[in-house]
Chains A and B, each alone.
Chain A
Amino acid sequence: MSKTKIRFDVSAVLLPVAGALLLLALWAATSGTVSKNLPSPAKTWEVSKPFVLAPFEKRGELDQGVARFAWYSLVLVAKGYAIALLLGAPLGFILGWSKLFAKSFDPIIQVLRPVSPLAWLPLGLVLFEKSHPAALFTIAICSMWPTVLNTALGVRSIPQDYLNVARVLQLSPAKTFFKVLLPAALPYMFTGFRLSLGIAWLVIVAVEMLTGSPGIGGFLWQEYNSLIYEHIILCILTIGIVGFVLDRMMSAVEHRLKAV
């Protein structure tokens, strides 16, 4: 029994570490040889140290800890994401509920869904004339589609039995919505919420680069222009780790919902 447990621990901890070390070795080997400009891992760590070891430090507008930059980005994402949910969930509900609406709007949604944030942002700037609302617009419109489509799927998947119960008990429309429809669709909706958050975080970097907003993406772009390539790698790792943590948190909530 203990043997299987040990083997499980080995594969769960050692293998990921081994994988990361392998990639690190590849990075070390190629930096300075195959790619002359790619900074080595040691150099990257050395240059990044003040940003990582004092993550919340603010030494100047463009010289702040990574956590501080990430926080700015998270705030922007949170705002855009909130707009995406507020628009996407109701839109998904209507789409799932009304066949007429679904037939009318599903094709156009399928056309708009794959459009890149790089394409939406200029339109946002044209519409809102300022970079902040344009950034929110871009995050919201890029990240809302999984919420829309999964909410619609959730509503279509509500068992007829539950609808019959609502009708037989003569529940009011509000009660039918809050006591029957919403709880029945919620697990699907949350899958959409999780995917939307992933996209919102993906979009943030492009948006910050183009608008020059302070944040982890803006920092990345600025350091590229300042030729401090070590910080590009620092930013990439930070973005990845934050995105990973967000996804884990969302899927933890999602699992709880689906367990009911």
Chain B
Amino acid sequence: MARGSFLELSGVGKGYGRGDARTEVLADINLSVERGELVCIVGYSGAGKTTLVSLMAGLATPDRGTIQLGGKPIVGPGADRGVVFQNYSLLPWLTAYENVHLAVDQRFADWPRDKKRAHTEQYLALVNLAAARDKRPSELSGGMRQRVALARALAADPEVLLMDEPLSALDALTRAVLQDEIARIWEASKKTVVLITNDVDEALLLADRIIPLSVGPAATFGPAVAVPIPRPRDRKTMNHDARFKAVRNQVIEYLLGPGRRRGGAALTAAPVALANASDSGDAVVAA
């Protein structure tokens, strides 16, 4: 499986600082993502999830190991990867339309003006934002801002969509709505998606495969857990369906067990959301 997969990380390590102040953030990260697959990486806050996205996006370079996309090493940002940042990272002086158009204009520079405009509007419509086209980010709710960010990433037609905790700043209801939209858009576009989250249930709803990330420093992946549940997945059945429960338990067992004792920095208390989920099977709504 490892050889010849689409997105391939092998032996990747990354740290910051020098000498005694050196902190290893990620250690021995191995990941193979197939074309069209939706992989969720679930881990603790501060475990290095954002570093992982930066590495795949090409915003940072690994200290050790290699990252390849389609057989070619990643050396910097590229049009083949779209990124949705946790904090939206929209440009506040541009409208929703202009934020998306910026990406379209750069990616498809040789298109005629009308085609660029139509393309931009098409992607705003895809995320249900056609009506908010001329609003600035400050006039949009958090959920709407993240939709703009999603449209901006998708409109450049990347081969891989990297999402760094895209929904973690949103309230629970908005999160649920956007999770369904991400599922819908993914089904329609069949893009390769790597989504990073701290919410196990979000991963259960969306992922083909869930990969737990241990606590840092020197965070690394636990065993991948396949989610063999047909789509569309119904969040209402999540707390009763035995298949959901089985996958959830596998992920949480790792995160609260071996995944907590990495690099000698065992946590005294697990994140609340994870602990709740393992006790009662309630929906996880982590902040």
A125-133, A146-154, A175-183, A215-223 - the one binding chain B:
A175-183
CA–CA, A164 to B58, complex, Å? 10
Q: Give the secondary structure class of B's interface.
A: loop
A58-66, A88-96, A136-144, A165-173 - the one binding chain B:
A165-173
B28-36, B87-95, B111-119, B264-272 - the one binding chain A:
B87-95
User: Taking A169-B103, A183-B93 as contacts, is the C-beta distance between A164 and B85 under 8 angstroms?
Assistant: yes
CA–CA, A3 to B183, complex, Å? 58
B18 to chain A, nearest CB (A): 18
Residue of A nearest to B104 (CB): A169
Q: Inside 8 A of A168's CB, which chain B residues have their CB?
A: 57, 59, 77, 81-83
A159 to chain B, nearest CB (A): 8
Residue of B nearest to A162 (CB): B91
Q: In which size bucket is the chain A interface?
A: 10 to 19
A26 contacts B by Cβ under 8 Å: no
Evaluate contact between B106 and A171: CB separation under 8 angstroms.
yes
A260 contacts B by Cβ under 8 Å: yes
Q: In which size bucket is the chain B interface?
A: 20 to 34
Evaluate contact between A161 and B77: CB separation under 8 angstroms.
no
Q: Inside 8 A of A162's CB, which chain B residues have their CB?
A: 89, 91
Q: Inside 8 A of A161's CB, which chain B residues have their CB?
A: 85, 87, 89
Residue of B nearest to A187 (CB): B93
CA–CA, A165 to B94, complex, Å? 13
B3 to chain A, nearest CB (A): 28
Q: Inside 8 A of A184's CB, which chain B residues have their CB?
A: 93
Evaluate contact between B102 and A169: CB separation under 8 angstroms.
yes
CA–CA, A179 to B10, complex, Å? 37
B78 contacts A by Cβ under 8 Å: yes
Evaluate contact between A164 and B89: CB separation under 8 angstroms.
yes
CA–CA, A168 to B77, complex, Å? 5
B215 contacts A by Cβ under 8 Å: no
CA–CA, A175 to B93, complex, Å? 14
A3 to chain B, nearest CB (A): 35
Evaluate contact between B106 and A165: CB separation under 8 angstroms.
no
Q: Inside 8 A of A172's CB, which chain B residues have their CB?
A: 106
B179 to chain A, nearest CB (A): 23
CA–CA, A170 to B156, complex, Å? 11
User: Taking A168-B59, A172-B106, A260-B136 as contacts, is the C-beta distance between A179 and B77 under 8 angstroms?
Assistant: no
Evaluate contact between B102 and A171: CB separation under 8 angstroms.
yes
Evaluate contact between B136 and A165: CB separation under 8 angstroms.
no
Highest count of chain B CB atoms <10 Å: which of A162, A168, A170, A183 = A168
A208 to chain B, nearest CB (A): 40
CA–CA, A112 to B137, complex, Å? 41
B79 contacts A by Cβ under 8 Å: yes
Evaluate contact between B91 and A179: CB separation under 8 angstroms.
yes
CA–CA, A175 to B103, complex, Å? 11
Q: Inside 8 A of B89's CB, which chain A residues have their CB?
A: 161-162, 164-165
CA–CA, A172 to B102, complex, Å? 11
Residue of B nearest to A164 (CB): B59
Q: Inside 8 A of B81's CB, which chain A residues have their CB?
A: 168
B7 to chain A, nearest CB (A): 16
Q: Inside 8 A of A169's CB, which chain B residues have their CB?
A: 102-103, 106-107, 152, 156
A62 to chain B, nearest CB (A): 49
Evaluate contact between B57 and A165: CB separation under 8 angstroms.
no
Encode contact with B along A111-127: 1 for CB under 8 Å, 0 otherwise: 00000000000000000
Q: Inside 8 A of B79's CB, which chain A residues have their CB?
A: 170
CA–CA, A162 to B85, complex, Å? 11
A183 to chain B, nearest CB (A): 4
In addition to A164-B85, A169-B103, 7 A-B residue pairs with Cβ atoms within 8 Å of each other are A161-B85, A162-B89, A168-B77, A168-B83, A170-B106, A171-B102, A171-B106
Closest 5 CB pairs of A and B: A161-B89, A183-B93, A168-B83, A167-B77, A168-B77
